[in-house]
Structure 1
Amino acid sequence: MDWHEIGRIEDIPRRGARCIKTPAGKIGIFRTAEDQVFALEDHCPHKGGPLSQGIVHGGAVTCPLHNMVIDLETGQAMGADQGFVPTIPVRNDNGVLYIGLAASGLMAAE
């Protein structure tokens, strides 16, 4: 796996997200109020909504289109909803953030 620098933790607001583009598609980078950072493919399993535009609360994000709630750690839909979003490994090295991608540049699931 190749680690790619994507910026600093301060680049993402607490309880917010940013979207980055990779050769395999968009990735949402999410920061919780406790400064945990997670990365998911940036599409809701329901209708493909942009999760990076959703509301981050606790360890989850709510899709802005239809309110599906996704667990940031596992990528699983929560509550009565069903679905899954692939997660991307994230590393925080003294405030510098890295995502783990397969050597081919394609996203690698955790």
Structure 2
Amino acid sequence: MGGDGKDGYYCTICGGIPPDQVKIKKIVIDGKETGIDRLDWILLDVYRRNFGNDETINDELIKRVRQFNYIPTKKMAEYRAALLREFKMLRPDDIRLMEQQMEKEVEPRA
């Protein structure tokens, strides 16, 4: 990995995103495994905000997922169902592990 905090970090081989910086998690949407960039961060962010009902939770999940990912309009209902399913599967141990992972990622690089 090359670069620094000023210029950003990049792969010294291809110039793209360094492999350790890729934050894609795969979930099943409409029967197909689909990669969602930064899904753990999104789930944790929505969880921490303690939204009251499924509709609001789903709206917030979609809003955040769309910041980093393309969602085909024709598949919006399928994405909503899959994201809410992932959110509802979160357990306290999952949250704790995700928080620990996020803390490691924030630590300054030497």
TM-score > 0.5, shorter chain as reference: no
Structure with the greater relative contact order (CA < 8 A, sep ≥ 6): 1 or 2?
Answer: 1
**So what's the TM-score if we normalise by structure 1?**
0.27
TM-score scaled by length of structure 2: 0.27
